[in-house]
Chain A
Amino acid sequence: MLDNLAKNKLDPRTKVLFLIPANIALFMYINYWKEGILIAFFAVIIAYDIAPLKALRYVSMFIVMLIIELLLLNHLTGFLWTVFYFIGVTSRKLLPCLMAGRIFFSTTTPNEMIVALRKLKIPHYFVIPFAVLMRYFPTIKQDFISLRQAMKIRGIASDAKAILLHPFQTFEYLLVPFLLSGIKTADELAAAAISRGIANPQPHTSLQEIKFKAKDYIYQVAIIIVTYSLYY
Protein backbone atom coordinates (compact mmCIF):
# COMPACT_ATOMS: atom_id res chain seq x y z
CA MET A 1 0.00 0.00 0.00
CA LEU A 2 2.85 2.36 0.83
CA ASP A 3 4.30 1.28 -2.47
CA ASN A 4 1.21 2.56 -4.27
CA LEU A 5 1.25 5.91 -2.56
CA ALA A 6 4.93 6.39 -3.14
CA LYS A 7 4.72 5.84 -6.87
CA ASN A 8 1.61 8.00 -7.13
CA LYS A 9 -0.20 5.54 -9.30
CA LEU A 10 -3.47 6.15 -11.05
CA ASP A 11 -6.51 3.98 -10.53
CA PRO A 12 -6.93 1.76 -13.62
CA ARG A 13 -10.51 2.95 -13.96
CA THR A 14 -9.29 6.52 -14.49
CA LYS A 15 -6.96 5.32 -17.20
CA VAL A 16 -9.83 3.70 -19.04
CA LEU A 17 -11.55 7.10 -19.07
CA PHE A 18 -8.76 8.39 -21.30
CA LEU A 19 -10.43 6.43 -24.07
CA ILE A 20 -13.42 8.76 -24.02
CA PRO A 21 -11.88 11.89 -25.56
CA ALA A 22 -9.71 9.72 -27.82
CA ASN A 23 -12.71 7.91 -29.28
CA ILE A 24 -15.00 10.92 -29.45
CA ALA A 25 -12.31 12.65 -31.51
CA LEU A 26 -12.68 9.86 -34.06
CA PHE A 27 -16.45 10.05 -34.26
CA MET A 28 -16.52 13.70 -35.02
CA TYR A 29 -14.16 15.39 -37.39
CA ILE A 30 -11.82 17.67 -35.48
CA ASN A 31 -9.53 20.20 -37.07
CA TYR A 32 -5.77 20.16 -36.81
CA TRP A 33 -5.65 22.44 -33.79
CA LYS A 34 -7.92 20.25 -31.72
CA GLU A 35 -5.93 17.21 -32.76
CA GLY A 36 -2.85 18.98 -31.54
CA ILE A 37 -4.45 19.75 -28.19
CA LEU A 38 -5.47 16.12 -27.72
CA ILE A 39 -2.04 14.80 -28.68
CA ALA A 40 -0.39 17.36 -26.40
CA PHE A 41 -2.67 16.31 -23.53
CA PHE A 42 -1.69 12.65 -23.87
CA ALA A 43 1.95 13.51 -24.52
CA VAL A 44 2.15 15.46 -21.28
CA ILE A 45 0.66 12.54 -19.36
CA ILE A 46 3.04 10.08 -21.00
CA ALA A 47 6.00 12.37 -20.30
CA TYR A 48 5.00 12.75 -16.67
CA ASP A 49 3.85 9.22 -15.84
CA ILE A 50 5.96 7.06 -18.14
CA ALA A 51 8.96 8.52 -19.94
CA PRO A 52 9.57 11.85 -21.71
CA LEU A 53 11.27 10.13 -24.63
CA LYS A 54 8.18 8.07 -25.40
CA ALA A 55 6.10 11.24 -25.42
CA LEU A 56 8.56 12.78 -27.84
CA ARG A 57 8.26 9.74 -30.09
CA TYR A 58 4.48 10.04 -30.31
CA VAL A 59 4.62 13.78 -30.91
CA SER A 60 7.15 13.38 -33.70
CA MET A 61 5.01 10.63 -35.25
CA PHE A 62 2.08 13.03 -35.18
CA ILE A 63 4.10 15.77 -36.84
CA VAL A 64 5.42 13.45 -39.56
CA MET A 65 1.90 12.19 -40.30
CA LEU A 66 0.57 15.74 -40.44
CA ILE A 67 3.31 16.70 -42.87
CA ILE A 68 2.42 13.69 -45.02
CA GLU A 69 -1.18 14.81 -45.23
CA LEU A 70 -0.56 18.50 -45.79
CA LEU A 71 2.39 18.39 -48.13
CA LEU A 72 2.64 14.96 -49.72
CA LEU A 73 -0.89 13.73 -50.28
CA ASN A 74 -1.84 16.38 -52.83
CA HIS A 75 0.72 15.09 -55.27
CA LEU A 76 -0.22 11.43 -55.26
CA THR A 77 -2.96 9.35 -56.79
CA GLY A 78 -4.07 5.77 -56.91
CA PHE A 79 -2.26 3.10 -54.95
CA LEU A 80 0.50 5.32 -53.56
CA TRP A 81 -2.13 7.77 -52.37
CA THR A 82 -3.95 4.92 -50.61
CA VAL A 83 -0.82 3.78 -48.77
CA PHE A 84 0.12 7.27 -47.63
CA TYR A 85 -3.48 8.10 -46.82
CA PHE A 86 -3.49 5.22 -44.34
CA ILE A 87 -0.14 6.24 -42.91
CA GLY A 88 -0.72 9.97 -42.81
CA VAL A 89 -4.42 10.41 -42.13
CA THR A 90 -6.01 7.25 -40.76
CA SER A 91 -3.17 6.32 -38.43
CA ARG A 92 -2.92 9.91 -37.29
CA LYS A 93 -6.60 10.00 -36.34
CA LEU A 94 -6.09 6.79 -34.39
CA LEU A 95 -3.00 8.11 -32.61
CA PRO A 96 -4.82 9.48 -29.51
CA CYS A 97 -6.48 6.08 -28.98
CA LEU A 98 -3.10 4.42 -29.30
CA MET A 99 -1.55 6.78 -26.77
CA ALA A 100 -4.40 6.20 -24.33
CA GLY A 101 -3.87 2.47 -24.71
CA ARG A 102 -0.15 2.85 -24.17
CA ILE A 103 -0.77 4.82 -20.98
CA PHE A 104 -3.01 2.07 -19.70
CA PHE A 105 -0.73 -0.86 -20.40
CA SER A 106 2.53 0.78 -19.42
CA THR A 107 1.37 1.90 -16.01
CA THR A 108 -0.91 -0.91 -14.89
CA THR A 109 0.24 -4.24 -13.53
CA PRO A 110 -1.84 -7.34 -14.29
CA ASN A 111 -2.79 -7.53 -10.64
CA GLU A 112 -4.23 -4.03 -10.68
CA MET A 113 -6.23 -4.82 -13.81
CA ILE A 114 -7.72 -7.89 -12.18
CA VAL A 115 -8.61 -6.08 -8.98
CA ALA A 116 -10.17 -3.25 -11.01
CA LEU A 117 -12.28 -5.76 -12.97
CA ARG A 118 -13.45 -7.32 -9.71
CA LYS A 119 -14.32 -3.91 -8.32
CA LEU A 120 -16.41 -3.21 -11.40
CA LYS A 121 -18.38 -6.36 -10.54
CA ILE A 122 -17.47 -8.10 -13.78
CA PRO A 123 -18.55 -11.76 -13.43
CA HIS A 124 -15.85 -14.31 -12.78
CA TYR A 125 -16.50 -15.95 -16.17
CA PHE A 126 -14.54 -13.06 -17.66
CA VAL A 127 -12.21 -12.18 -14.82
CA ILE A 128 -10.63 -15.62 -14.53
CA PRO A 129 -9.78 -16.06 -18.24
CA PHE A 130 -8.53 -12.48 -18.28
CA ALA A 131 -6.34 -13.12 -15.24
CA VAL A 132 -4.98 -16.31 -16.81
CA LEU A 133 -4.30 -14.41 -20.04
CA MET A 134 -2.34 -11.68 -18.26
CA ARG A 135 -0.32 -14.12 -16.20
CA TYR A 136 0.33 -16.70 -18.91
CA PHE A 137 1.30 -14.19 -21.57
CA PRO A 138 4.92 -13.62 -20.37
CA THR A 139 5.36 -17.38 -20.05
CA ILE A 140 4.54 -17.80 -23.71
CA LYS A 141 7.30 -15.40 -24.68
CA GLN A 142 9.82 -17.47 -22.72
CA ASP A 143 8.51 -20.71 -24.20
CA PHE A 144 8.74 -19.22 -27.67
CA ILE A 145 12.44 -18.47 -27.26
CA SER A 146 13.24 -21.96 -25.96
CA LEU A 147 11.15 -23.43 -28.73
CA ARG A 148 13.05 -21.52 -31.39
CA GLN A 149 16.34 -22.74 -29.92
CA ALA A 150 15.15 -26.34 -29.87
CA MET A 151 14.05 -26.02 -33.47
CA LYS A 152 17.38 -24.58 -34.51
CA ILE A 153 19.22 -27.49 -32.92
CA ARG A 154 17.08 -29.93 -34.85
CA GLY A 155 17.55 -27.95 -38.04
CA ILE A 156 13.92 -27.00 -38.53
CA ALA A 157 13.27 -23.47 -39.79
CA SER A 158 16.71 -22.45 -38.63
CA ASP A 159 16.88 -19.23 -40.61
CA ALA A 160 14.76 -16.89 -42.69
CA LYS A 161 15.36 -18.83 -45.90
CA ALA A 162 14.19 -22.09 -44.33
CA ILE A 163 11.09 -20.38 -42.99
CA LEU A 164 10.20 -19.06 -46.41
CA LEU A 165 10.81 -22.42 -48.07
CA HIS A 166 8.82 -24.48 -45.56
CA PRO A 167 6.20 -22.11 -44.14
CA PHE A 168 3.73 -24.83 -43.20
CA GLN A 169 6.32 -26.89 -41.40
CA THR A 170 7.50 -23.86 -39.44
CA PHE A 171 3.96 -22.96 -38.56
CA GLU A 172 3.12 -26.51 -37.49
CA TYR A 173 6.22 -26.93 -35.33
CA LEU A 174 5.61 -23.60 -33.67
CA LEU A 175 1.91 -23.85 -32.97
CA VAL A 176 1.39 -27.46 -31.89
CA PRO A 177 3.84 -27.52 -28.94
CA PHE A 178 2.18 -24.40 -27.57
CA LEU A 179 -1.25 -25.96 -27.75
CA LEU A 180 -0.08 -29.21 -26.15
CA SER A 181 1.78 -27.53 -23.30
CA GLY A 182 -1.09 -25.10 -22.92
CA ILE A 183 -3.57 -27.89 -22.28
CA LYS A 184 -1.28 -29.50 -19.73
CA THR A 185 -0.69 -26.16 -18.02
CA ALA A 186 -4.42 -25.52 -17.93
CA ASP A 187 -5.02 -28.62 -15.84
CA GLU A 188 -2.24 -27.87 -13.38
CA LEU A 189 -3.10 -24.17 -13.20
CA ALA A 190 -6.77 -24.87 -12.51
CA ALA A 191 -5.90 -27.27 -9.70
CA ALA A 192 -3.49 -24.74 -8.18
CA ALA A 193 -6.02 -21.92 -8.47
CA ILE A 194 -8.82 -23.95 -6.89
CA SER A 195 -6.61 -24.93 -4.00
CA ARG A 196 -5.93 -21.22 -3.52
CA GLY A 197 -9.62 -20.46 -3.32
CA ILE A 198 -10.47 -18.99 -6.70
CA ALA A 199 -13.89 -20.61 -6.58
CA ASN A 200 -14.77 -18.82 -3.34
CA PRO A 201 -18.04 -16.92 -3.86
CA GLN A 202 -17.07 -14.37 -1.18
CA PRO A 203 -15.44 -11.11 -2.30
CA HIS A 204 -11.73 -11.64 -2.90
CA THR A 205 -9.22 -9.53 -1.01
CA SER A 206 -6.06 -8.10 -2.46
CA LEU A 207 -2.86 -6.62 -1.11
CA GLN A 208 -3.12 -3.80 -3.61
CA GLU A 209 -5.86 -1.32 -3.00
CA ILE A 210 -7.68 0.23 -5.89
CA LYS A 211 -9.39 3.42 -5.01
CA PHE A 212 -9.63 6.95 -6.28
CA LYS A 213 -7.09 9.36 -4.86
CA ALA A 214 -6.46 13.06 -5.38
CA LYS A 215 -4.44 12.47 -8.52
CA ASP A 216 -7.34 10.49 -10.04
CA TYR A 217 -9.79 13.32 -9.50
CA ILE A 218 -7.41 15.84 -11.03
CA TYR A 219 -6.98 13.68 -14.10
CA GLN A 220 -10.70 13.08 -14.39
CA VAL A 221 -11.41 16.80 -14.34
CA ALA A 222 -8.73 17.28 -17.01
CA ILE A 223 -10.37 14.60 -19.14
CA ILE A 224 -13.74 16.33 -18.86
CA ILE A 225 -12.18 19.65 -19.86
CA VAL A 226 -10.37 18.14 -22.86
CA THR A 227 -13.50 16.27 -23.99
CA TYR A 228 -15.56 19.44 -23.77
CA SER A 229 -12.97 21.41 -25.71
CA LEU A 230 -13.38 18.99 -28.62
CA TYR A 231 -16.92 20.18 -29.10
CA TYR A 232 -16.83 23.93 -29.35
Chain B
Amino acid sequence: MKNLTIKDLVTIGIFTAIYFVTLSVCTFASFMLIPGVSFMFLPAIAALVCGAIYLLLVVKIQKFGAITILGTVIGVFFAISGHFITALPTCIIFSVLADLIASTKKYKSMIANTISYVVYAFSLTGPILPMWFLKTQYIQHLLNDNKTQEYVDARFVFINTQTFLLVAGGIVVCAIIGALIGKKLLQKHFEKAGII
Protein backbone atom coordinates (compact mmCIF):
# COMPACT_ATOMS: atom_id res chain seq x y z
CA MET B 1 0.00 0.00 0.00
CA LYS B 2 3.04 2.20 0.21
CA ASN B 3 2.94 3.22 -3.43
CA LEU B 4 -0.35 5.12 -3.20
CA THR B 5 0.28 8.76 -4.06
CA ILE B 6 -1.58 11.71 -2.58
CA LYS B 7 -3.49 11.96 -5.84
CA ASP B 8 -4.52 8.30 -5.47
CA LEU B 9 -5.66 8.86 -1.91
CA VAL B 10 -7.73 11.88 -2.90
CA THR B 11 -9.27 9.91 -5.77
CA ILE B 12 -10.13 7.08 -3.37
CA GLY B 13 -11.72 9.62 -1.04
CA ILE B 14 -13.88 11.08 -3.79
CA PHE B 15 -14.99 7.68 -5.02
CA THR B 16 -15.79 6.70 -1.44
CA ALA B 17 -17.96 9.81 -1.20
CA ILE B 18 -19.81 8.97 -4.43
CA TYR B 19 -20.19 5.36 -3.31
CA PHE B 20 -21.50 6.46 0.05
CA VAL B 21 -24.07 8.79 -1.51
CA THR B 22 -25.20 6.02 -3.90
CA LEU B 23 -25.52 3.70 -0.90
CA SER B 24 -27.68 6.25 0.92
CA VAL B 25 -29.92 6.62 -2.12
CA CYS B 26 -30.26 2.83 -2.35
CA THR B 27 -31.08 2.59 1.35
CA PHE B 28 -33.73 5.25 0.99
CA ALA B 29 -35.21 3.71 -2.16
CA SER B 30 -35.34 0.19 -0.71
CA PHE B 31 -36.82 1.53 2.51
CA MET B 32 -39.61 3.12 0.48
CA LEU B 33 -40.20 0.05 -1.67
CA ILE B 34 -39.94 -2.76 0.91
CA PRO B 35 -40.49 -1.27 4.36
CA GLY B 36 -39.49 -3.38 7.30
CA VAL B 37 -37.25 -5.97 5.68
CA SER B 38 -35.46 -3.60 3.32
CA PHE B 39 -32.05 -3.89 4.94
CA MET B 40 -31.79 -7.58 4.09
CA PHE B 41 -31.93 -6.79 0.40
CA LEU B 42 -29.78 -3.70 0.59
CA PRO B 43 -26.43 -5.40 -0.21
CA ALA B 44 -27.97 -6.90 -3.34
CA ILE B 45 -29.49 -3.62 -4.53
CA ALA B 46 -26.28 -1.74 -3.78
CA ALA B 47 -24.27 -4.38 -5.65
CA LEU B 48 -26.52 -3.89 -8.67
CA VAL B 49 -26.04 -0.14 -8.74
CA CYS B 50 -22.44 0.50 -7.70
CA GLY B 51 -20.63 -1.57 -10.31
CA ALA B 52 -19.48 1.41 -12.36
CA ILE B 53 -18.07 3.19 -9.30
CA TYR B 54 -16.10 0.16 -8.19
CA LEU B 55 -14.75 -0.73 -11.62
CA LEU B 56 -13.78 2.84 -12.40
CA LEU B 57 -11.89 3.09 -9.12
CA VAL B 58 -10.03 -0.15 -9.84
CA VAL B 59 -9.13 0.94 -13.36
CA LYS B 60 -8.03 4.41 -12.29
CA ILE B 61 -5.74 3.35 -9.47
CA GLN B 62 -4.66 -0.21 -10.26
CA LYS B 63 -2.71 -0.54 -7.06
CA PHE B 64 -3.28 -2.54 -3.92
CA GLY B 65 -5.09 -0.60 -1.23
CA ALA B 66 -7.77 1.28 -3.17
CA ILE B 67 -10.52 -1.25 -2.48
CA THR B 68 -9.24 -1.91 1.04
CA ILE B 69 -9.41 1.75 1.96
CA LEU B 70 -12.83 2.14 0.32
CA GLY B 71 -14.23 -0.75 2.34
CA THR B 72 -12.54 0.25 5.58
CA VAL B 73 -13.67 3.88 5.52
CA ILE B 74 -17.23 2.80 4.72
CA GLY B 75 -16.98 0.24 7.54
CA VAL B 76 -15.83 2.87 10.02
CA PHE B 77 -18.76 5.00 8.94
CA PHE B 78 -21.20 2.15 9.50
CA ALA B 79 -19.81 1.38 12.93
CA ILE B 80 -19.87 4.97 14.15
CA SER B 81 -23.18 5.98 12.60
CA GLY B 82 -25.16 3.38 14.48
CA HIS B 83 -24.95 -0.04 12.90
CA PHE B 84 -23.73 -2.92 14.97
CA ILE B 85 -19.99 -3.04 15.50
CA THR B 86 -19.61 -6.27 13.48
CA ALA B 87 -20.16 -4.10 10.40
CA LEU B 88 -16.56 -2.88 10.69
CA PRO B 89 -14.60 -6.18 10.67
CA THR B 90 -16.95 -7.51 7.99
CA CYS B 91 -16.17 -4.55 5.75
CA ILE B 92 -12.44 -4.80 6.36
CA ILE B 93 -12.19 -8.55 5.78
CA PHE B 94 -14.23 -8.63 2.58
CA SER B 95 -12.62 -5.55 1.07
CA VAL B 96 -9.12 -6.88 1.76
CA LEU B 97 -10.13 -10.19 0.17
CA ALA B 98 -11.61 -8.38 -2.82
CA ASP B 99 -8.44 -6.33 -3.17
CA LEU B 100 -6.27 -9.44 -3.06
CA ILE B 101 -8.39 -11.22 -5.65
CA ALA B 102 -8.28 -8.33 -8.10
CA SER B 103 -4.55 -7.84 -7.52
CA THR B 104 -3.73 -11.36 -8.67
CA LYS B 105 -4.27 -10.24 -12.26
CA LYS B 106 -2.86 -6.78 -11.63
CA TYR B 107 -6.36 -5.27 -11.76
CA LYS B 108 -6.50 -5.69 -15.52
CA SER B 109 -8.65 -8.79 -15.90
CA MET B 110 -12.39 -8.24 -16.15
CA ILE B 111 -13.09 -11.69 -14.73
CA ALA B 112 -10.86 -11.14 -11.70
CA ASN B 113 -12.40 -7.73 -11.14
CA THR B 114 -15.90 -9.18 -11.33
CA ILE B 115 -15.10 -11.90 -8.80
CA SER B 116 -13.51 -9.23 -6.65
CA TYR B 117 -16.68 -7.16 -6.89
CA VAL B 118 -18.84 -10.13 -5.88
CA VAL B 119 -16.68 -10.67 -2.80
CA TYR B 120 -16.75 -6.97 -2.03
CA ALA B 121 -20.56 -6.91 -2.27
CA PHE B 122 -20.66 -9.10 0.84
CA SER B 123 -18.90 -6.46 2.88
CA LEU B 124 -22.21 -4.63 3.16
CA THR B 125 -23.78 -7.59 4.98
CA GLY B 126 -22.25 -6.41 8.25
CA PRO B 127 -25.41 -4.78 9.56
CA ILE B 128 -27.38 -7.96 8.83
CA LEU B 129 -25.17 -10.18 11.01
CA PRO B 130 -26.79 -9.15 14.33
CA MET B 131 -29.95 -10.82 13.00
CA TRP B 132 -28.32 -14.16 13.74
CA PHE B 133 -27.84 -13.83 17.43
CA LEU B 134 -30.73 -11.46 17.98
CA LYS B 135 -32.83 -14.33 16.70
CA THR B 136 -31.21 -16.86 19.07
CA GLN B 137 -31.63 -14.48 21.98
CA TYR B 138 -35.23 -13.76 21.14
CA ILE B 139 -36.12 -17.42 20.77
CA GLN B 140 -34.58 -18.04 24.19
CA HIS B 141 -36.62 -15.16 25.55
CA LEU B 142 -39.80 -16.59 24.05
CA LEU B 143 -39.11 -20.06 25.42
CA ASN B 144 -38.42 -18.60 28.86
CA ASP B 145 -41.74 -16.90 28.52
CA ASN B 146 -43.37 -20.34 28.32
CA LYS B 147 -44.06 -20.27 24.63
CA THR B 148 -43.90 -23.58 22.85
CA GLN B 149 -41.43 -24.56 20.17
CA GLU B 150 -44.26 -24.72 17.63
CA TYR B 151 -45.15 -21.14 18.46
CA VAL B 152 -41.54 -20.16 17.78
CA ASP B 153 -41.43 -22.10 14.53
CA ALA B 154 -44.62 -20.55 13.28
CA ARG B 155 -43.15 -17.11 13.86
CA PHE B 156 -39.68 -17.57 12.45
CA VAL B 157 -40.87 -19.26 9.31
CA PHE B 158 -39.34 -16.58 7.09
CA ILE B 159 -36.12 -16.07 9.01
CA ASN B 160 -33.96 -19.16 8.81
CA THR B 161 -30.93 -20.55 7.04
CA GLN B 162 -32.78 -20.90 3.74
CA THR B 163 -33.65 -17.22 3.73
CA PHE B 164 -30.06 -16.27 4.40
CA LEU B 165 -28.79 -18.52 1.63
CA LEU B 166 -31.35 -16.97 -0.69
CA VAL B 167 -30.18 -13.49 0.24
CA ALA B 168 -26.54 -14.52 -0.26
CA GLY B 169 -27.37 -16.00 -3.67
CA GLY B 170 -29.21 -12.82 -4.56
CA ILE B 171 -26.13 -10.78 -3.65
CA VAL B 172 -23.94 -12.90 -5.93
CA VAL B 173 -26.34 -12.61 -8.87
CA CYS B 174 -26.86 -8.88 -8.41
CA ALA B 175 -23.13 -8.29 -8.09
CA ILE B 176 -22.41 -10.08 -11.35
CA ILE B 177 -25.13 -8.14 -13.14
CA GLY B 178 -23.94 -4.93 -11.51
CA ALA B 179 -20.39 -5.52 -12.71
CA LEU B 180 -21.65 -6.09 -16.26
CA ILE B 181 -23.76 -2.92 -16.15
CA GLY B 182 -20.75 -1.04 -14.79
CA LYS B 183 -18.52 -2.33 -17.55
CA LYS B 184 -21.00 -1.24 -20.19
CA LEU B 185 -21.26 2.21 -18.65
CA LEU B 186 -17.49 2.53 -18.54
CA GLN B 187 -17.11 1.49 -22.16
CA LYS B 188 -19.84 3.82 -23.31
CA HIS B 189 -18.78 6.98 -21.52
CA PHE B 190 -15.28 6.77 -20.19
CA GLU B 191 -13.34 5.22 -23.00
CA LYS B 192 -14.43 8.01 -25.27
CA ALA B 193 -13.41 10.60 -22.73
CA GLY B 194 -10.00 8.99 -22.63
CA ILE B 195 -10.11 8.25 -18.95
CA ILE B 196 -9.67 4.52 -19.29
Which of B52, B80, B82, B138 has a CB less than 8 Å from the CB of A175?
Answer: B52
Tell me, in angstroms, the Cα distance from A190 to B13 when the chains sit together: 11
Tell me, in angstroms, the Cα distance from A97 to B80 when the chains sit together: 8
Most chain A beta-carbon contacts within 10 A, residue among B4, B14, B35, B84: B14
> Known contacts A86-B37, A171-B49: does B140 contact A26 (CB below 8 Å)?
no
CB-based nearest A residue for B56 = A179
B116 to chain A, nearest CB (A): 19
Tell me, in angstroms, the Cα distance from A144 to B17 when the chains sit together: 13
Binary CB contact string for chain A from 171 to 186 against chain B (1 if under 8 A, 0 otherwise): 1100110111011011
B50 to chain A, nearest CB (A): 9
> Known contacts A101-B81, A133-B17, A136-B17: does B10 contact A190 (CB below 8 Å)?
yes
Kindly specify which of B98-106, B107-115, B126-134, B168-176 makes contact with the partner chain: B126-134
Which of B1, B13, B79 has a CB less than 8 Å from the CB of A133?
Answer: B13
- Are A183 and B60 neighbours in the complex by a CB distance under 8 Å? yes
- Are B130 and A130 neighbours in the complex by a CB distance under 8 Å? no
CB-based nearest B residue for A183 = B195
CB-based nearest A residue for B189 = A176
> Known contacts A86-B36, A89-B134, A175-B52: does B80 contact A29 (CB below 8 Å)?
no
Tell me, in angstroms, the Cα distance from A229 to B79 when the chains sit together: 23
Within 8 A of A (CB), among B14-32: 14-18, 20-22
Write out the residue numbers on chain A whose beta carbons fall within 8 Å of the beta carbon of B134. 26, 89-90, 93
Which of B18, B36, B154 has a CB less than 8 Å from the CB of A182?
Answer: B18
- Are B85 and A90 neighbours in the complex by a CB distance under 8 Å? no
| Interface size in chain B (residues, C-beta < 8 A) | 56
Tell me, in angstroms, the Cα distance from A176 to B184 when the chains sit together: 12
Task: Tell whether B183 is near chain A: CB-to-CB under 8 Å.
Answer: no
Tell me, in angstroms, the Cα distance from A193 to B190 when the chains sit together: 26
Write out the residue numbers on chain B whose beta carbons fall within 8 Å of the beta carbon of A199. 6
Within 8 A of A (CB), among B74-124: 76, 79-85
Interface residues on A, range: 35 or more
Binary CB contact string for chain A from 192 to 206 against chain B (1 if under 8 A, 0 otherwise): 011000110000000
Tell me, in angstroms, the Cα distance from A84 to B36 when the chains sit together: 7
- Are A23 and B158 neighbours in the complex by a CB distance under 8 Å? no
Kindly specify which of A2-10, A48-56, A74-82, A209-217 makes contact with the partner chain: A74-82
- Are A89 and B138 neighbours in the complex by a CB distance under 8 Å? yes
Task: Tell whether A105 is near chain B: CB-to-CB under 8 Å.
Answer: yes
- Are A132 and B82 neighbours in the complex by a CB distance under 8 Å? no
Q: How many A-B residue pairs have CB under 8 A?
A: 160
B7 to chain A, nearest CB (A): 4
Which of A82, A94, A98, A129 has a CB less than 8 Å from the CB of B12?
Answer: A129
Binary CB contact string for chain A from 105 to 141 against chain B (1 if under 8 A, 0 otherwise): 1000000000000000000111011111100110011
B25 to chain A, nearest CB (A): 9
- Are A97 and B82 neighbours in the complex by a CB distance under 8 Å? yes
> Known contacts A126-B73, A189-B10: does B21 contact A140 (CB below 8 Å)?
yes
- Are A79 and B7 neighbours in the complex by a CB distance under 8 Å? no
B85 to chain A, nearest CB (A): 5
Write out the residue numbers on chain B whose beta carbons fall within 8 Å of the beta carbon of A141. 21
Further 14 A-B residue pairs, CB within 8 A, beyond A90-B134, A105-B80, A125-B4: A19-B80, A77-B154, A77-B155, A83-B37, A94-B84, A105-B81, A126-B72, A133-B16, A179-B18, A182-B17, A186-B13, A189-B10, A190-B6, A190-B11
Chain B residues with CB under 8 Å of chain A are: 1, 4, 6-7, 9-18, 20-22, 35-37, 49, 52-53, 56, 60, 65, 69-70, 72-73, 76, 79-85, 130-131, 133-134, 137-138, 140-141, 154-155, 157-159, 185, 189-190, 193, 195
Chain A residues with CB under 8 Å of chain B are: 16, 19, 23, 26-27, 29, 77-79, 81-87, 89-90, 93-94, 97-102, 104-105, 124-126, 128-133, 136-137, 140-141, 144, 171-172, 175-176, 178-180, 182-183, 185-187, 189-190, 193-194, 198-199
